[in-house]
Structure 1
């Protein structure tokens, strides 16, 4: 097993092992650090939603850096079982849910609003726009919420998306990876 490391907060330096036999593509330390630097003002005391959570590194890092709670959703039973066990061993308030979007996301919509949403859909499945539309339609968002979606640099086309609540703010690029940031249009 190889691992990724938590880059900030109380768990800084802690290595999170990558499971064998589970197809994950962890975001680079550089891109993750940049993301958390951008959203730090919304993070402390906030609620964090991690979609296509994989290793759960974003949820773990959000909690390490001061988020009050986090929900991680992934469709891999093996991955979510490992993540739930990891959350217990780290003693962090991480709610891990196994399921596919949009069904699992609709169940989360019954919860309190989120301050931050991070989605990292598999690049090869081209789910970035569909995921963004589902977040826009379903996820309860707090005032000032920030939504981010990771995508292959240059691959996210927003011209014809048709968002109703979300407004595109910026696209931050880190090599072949980019993170598109959105906020509430009426904010």
Structure 2
């Protein structure tokens, strides 16, 4: 069972799509959000969750003080579940049904954002991910952060020149990379 880890909706259960998604574990979410909160990247921030599935990352951000969160997924089931999870937690997640690459390829898509999460499905290739990441700088605030979660066996994402890789962490079979907009050597 997936649940919100902390914040105003901490402990609330989340529904997850039956297939095609890889929900972020509570352990990974807790570690990731502790890091983000330490860097003041959640409170009063605007968040975009791409390949959102259940919306767990966006809902966790809202529960911990983000002021706005959008979840994008191309699955009808995921959109229904995101909307159900938003209702059940009382959090204002906006679920958007769209192909992620199409969505980020459009100029001015509901942004800019402080944090963009990407948690693509296992079958999503490195090349497909690079095409999505290439579009992200125009949707980020000047010091915005991109967080990519993938299986441990995947390669590090290819970052466009505006995004500076800063951190790679592994928890079990999950690897998380972060890159920040326009800032070099951030620890």
Return the TM-score normalized by structure 2: 0.87
Q: Deviations over 1:76-112 (max 9, x none)?
A: 1111022123323433221110111211223473323
Q: In the superposition, relative to structure 1, how do residues 7 and 153 fare at CA in structure 2: closer, same or farther (>3 Å)? A: same
Q: Deviations over 1:8-54 (max 9, x none)?
A: 1011111112244x332111111111110111111100001101001
Q: Structure 1: state its 5+ residue gaps.
A: none
SS in 2 for 1:86: helix
Correspondence for 2:163 among 166, 173, 185:
166
Q: CA deviation at 1:154?
A: 4.1
Return the TM-score normalized by structure 1: 0.87
CA RMSD in angstroms, aligned pairs only: 2.0
Q: Which residue of structure 1 lines up, in the alignment, with residue 81 of structure 2?
A: 82
Q: Which residue of structure 1 lines up, in the alignment, with residue 29 of structure 2?
A: 32
Q: Structure 2: state its 5+ residue gaps.
A: none
Q: How does 1:14-163 map to 2 (within 5 A)?
A: 14-20=12-18, 22-40=19-37, 41-107=40-106, 109-127=108-126, 129-138=127-136, 139-158=138-157, 161=158, 163=160
Runs of at least 4 residues of structure 1 off by over 6 A? none
